[in-house]
């Protein structure tokens, strides 16, 4: 008798609603394991998409940044010193760099997409009209007093981040005369990618006017450097979803379903560095520090949306379990832990279905298909669990509302925290109200059948 009295309370505690709630919480935490494997699968698919983009960039051209033109002027400076009572002259060679007084960039960038398997990447073929002017005063002040300037060896360089995207030989009009570009930026020992054009000047110019047309292929992103004392740039493209980026945003922009038209005006004071440099490497390194441009954004970046949905996965699995627990409590039907595990597995598989379908039909349709399949499967299973279609229909409606809420959280990023907090608050309130008369320590009824 004593032994029976000592062992009797155990089943009571194991069958109580309080203990069932503890088991549900433990199952919710355990569901993080399969969700982790789904996240690993997502990361693998993202890596494959990135590899596809790199393959396209290798053959077509990567993200492009155009920085130029930069004028390089070699000169020699002779100094006199006294060595052992004798006057000794020594001549050193230097190269000064000068940025343009004004720089106008007018670019049209027709776009298309290239695919590797199921992965698509936006590409463009940009026609850049570059007009630069170096004024006489800036040219005269570039070298020290008494220097012997080698104008015949002066050249202009334009940095292009991926020269494989150049579609033809580039020429430049220098004060009305033609000059051809050559490979490299022309600076010895520099690893900066680009092209340069010798100017072949016979005498110090009163001013230098440079006009060049560059046709450049690239993918995903196009940027320019604000090198002028006054830089004006216009970029026109038929891509409907631009993401303007860089140090400077457009002063004016028009974005429609047919494309965009953006204009930048960057003054010298906003740029943050000077116009002339005593060392070529310094000029090249500085020129790429103040860039602006556009990313050809893909609004169907479903990997990012699936990644965001996984952040809410544990929360929504827990809410689904809570819905079943409340239904079990108010309907008087006792569910086994294994049944909760099966229902939890269905909620977890939703994210795998979402990822799989999104790669083929887009995120919105994939979400609708995955959510409909998951909610329907769970509701059909609930018909036998709760012995009634009406009860299963109620569960179907509640789960459908939960998945609708998750979609709202994904598309309303700015209000996601507020919406999520309010939902949790009302879910807790509804649970407290529903179970307000529940005896958490009582023995749950035996399952029917």
Q: What is the pLDDT of residue 62?
A: 84
Q: How far from chain centre, in Å, is Cα 311?
A: 18
> For the chain, how big is the Rg over CA atoms in Å?
34
In 3D space, the residue among 138, 156, 198, 192 whose CA is nearest the CA of residue 72 turns out to be 156
CATH class of domain segment(s) 63-296 = mainly beta
Cα 149 to Cα 93: distance, rounded to the nearest angstrom: 10
Q: What is the pLDDT of residue 251?
A: 93
Cα 73 to Cα 92: distance, rounded to the nearest angstrom: 14
Q: What is the pLDDT of residue 2?
A: 46
Residue identified by tokens 């005498």 is 203
Ordered by start, the domain boundaries in the chain are 2-47+302-434, 63-296
* Helical packing angle, 363-386 and 389-411, nearest 10°: 150
In 3D space, the residue among 58, 107, 47, 51 whose CA is nearest the CA of residue 219 turns out to be 58
Q: First vs last Cα of the chain: how many Å apart?
A: 31
Q: What is the pLDDT of residue 434?
A: 67
Q: What is the pLDDT of residue 157?
A: 94
- Neighbouring CB atoms inside 10 A of 10's CB total 9
Residue identified by tokens 């992103």 is 221
Tell me the pTM.
0.66
Write down how long the chain is.
449
Q: What is the pLDDT of residue 211?
A: 94
Cα 93 to Cα 289: distance, rounded to the nearest angstrom: 27
Cα 214 to Cα 212: distance, rounded to the nearest angstrom: 6
Tokens of 37: 């494997």
Q: Which helix (H) or strand (E) holds 347?
A: helix 337-361
Q: Which helix (H) or strand (E) holds 344?
A: helix 337-361
Dihedral over Cα of 167, 168, 174, 177: its sign: negative
Q: What is the pLDDT of residue 118?
A: 64
In which residue ranges of the chain is pLDDT below 50?
A: 1-12, 14, 443-449
Structure confidence by residue, pLDDT tens digits, 204-248: 788 899 999 999 998 889 999 999 999 999 999 999 889 898 889
Cα 324 to Cα 339: distance, rounded to the nearest angstrom: 10
Cα 296 to Cα 275: distance, rounded to the nearest angstrom: 31
Tokens of 394: 């109620």
In 3D space, the residue among 341, 338, 301 whose CA is nearest the CA of residue 320 turns out to be 341
Tokens of 3: 């032994």
Three-point CA angle 443, 447, 448, nearest 5°:
135
Q: What is the pLDDT of residue 6?
A: 47
Q: What is the pLDDT of residue 308?
A: 77
Cβ 64 vs Cβ 223: under 8 Å: yes
In 3D space, the residue among 290, 276, 123, 93 whose CA is nearest the CA of residue 188 turns out to be 93
Q: Which helix (H) or strand (E) holds 349?
A: helix 337-361
- Neighbouring CB atoms inside 10 A of 112's CB total 11
Burial class (CB in 10 A: 0-12, 13-18, 19+), 115: exposed
Dihedral over Cα of 412, 416, 418, 419: its sign: positive
E strands, 7-142, in order:
64-83, 86-98, 102-108, 111-116, 119-134
* Helical packing angle, 302-311 and 337-361, nearest 10°: 160
Q: What is the pLDDT of residue 432?
A: 74
**C-alpha to C-alpha distances, 272 to 98, 291, 360, 436, nearest whole angstrom:** 15, 12, 46, 65
Kindly report the backbone phi and psi dihedral angles of residue 269, in degrees, each rounded to the nearest multiple of 5, phi listed first: -65, -30
Torsion, Cα of 42, 48, 50, 53 (10° steps): -140
Structure confidence by residue, pLDDT tens digits, 7-20: 444 444 545 666 66
């Amino acid at each position: 008798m004593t032994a029976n009295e000592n062992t009797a309370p155990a089943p009571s505690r194991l069958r109580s609603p309080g203990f069932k709630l503890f088991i549900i919480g433990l199952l919710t935490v355990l569901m993080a394991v399969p969700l982790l494997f789904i996240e690993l699968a997502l990361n693998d698919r993202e890596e494959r998409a990135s590899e596809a983009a790199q393959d396209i960039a290798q053959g077509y051209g990567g993200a492009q940044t155009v920085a130029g033109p930069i004028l390089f002027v070699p000169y020699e400076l002779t100094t006199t010193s006294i060595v052992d009572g004798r006057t000794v002259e020594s001549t050193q060679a230097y190269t000064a760099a000068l940025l343009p007084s004004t720089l106008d960039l007018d670019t049209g960038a027709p776009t298309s997409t290239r695919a590797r398997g199921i992965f698509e990447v936006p590409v463009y073929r940009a026609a850049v009209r570059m007009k630069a002017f170096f004024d006489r005063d800036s040219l005269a002040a570039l070298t020290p007093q008494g220097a012997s300037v080698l104008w015949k060896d002066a050249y202009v360089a334009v940095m292009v981040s991926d020269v494989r995207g150049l579609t033809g030989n580039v020429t430049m009009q220098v004060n009305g005369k033609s000059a051809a570009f050559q490979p490299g930026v022309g600076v010895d020992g520099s690893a900066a990618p680009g092209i340069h054009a010798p100017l072949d000047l016979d005498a110090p110019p009163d001013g230098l006017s440079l006009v060049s047309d560059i046709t450049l292929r690239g993918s995903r992103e196009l940027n320019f450097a604000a090198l002028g004392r006054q830089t004006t740039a216009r970029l026109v493209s038929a891509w409907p979803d631009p993401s303007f980026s860089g140090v400077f945003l457009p002063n004016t922009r028009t974005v429609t379903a047919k494309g965009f038209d953006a204009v930048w005006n960057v003054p010298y004071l906003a740029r943050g560095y000077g116009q002339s440099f005593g060392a070529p490497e310094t000029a090249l390194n500085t020129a790429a520090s103040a860039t602006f441009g556009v990313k050809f954004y893909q609004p169907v970046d479903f990997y990012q949306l699936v990644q965001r949905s996984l952040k809410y996965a544990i929360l929504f699995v827990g809410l689904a379990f809570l819905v079943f627990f409340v239904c079990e409590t108010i309907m008087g039907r006792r569910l086994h832990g294994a049944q909760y595990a099966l229902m939890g597995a269905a909620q977890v598989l939703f994210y795998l279905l979402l990822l799989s379908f999104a790669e083929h039909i887009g995120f919105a349709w994939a979400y609708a298909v995955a959510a409909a399949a998951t909610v329907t499967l769970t509701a059909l299973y609930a018909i036998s669990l709760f012995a009634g279609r009406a009860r299963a229909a109620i569960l179907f409606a509640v789960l459908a509302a939960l998945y609708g809420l998750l979609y709202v959280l994904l598309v309303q990023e700015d209000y996601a925290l507020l919406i999520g907090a309010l939902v949790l608050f009302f879910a807790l309130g509804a649970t407290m109200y529903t179970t307000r008369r529940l005896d958490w320590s009582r023995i749950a009824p035996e399952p029917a059948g």
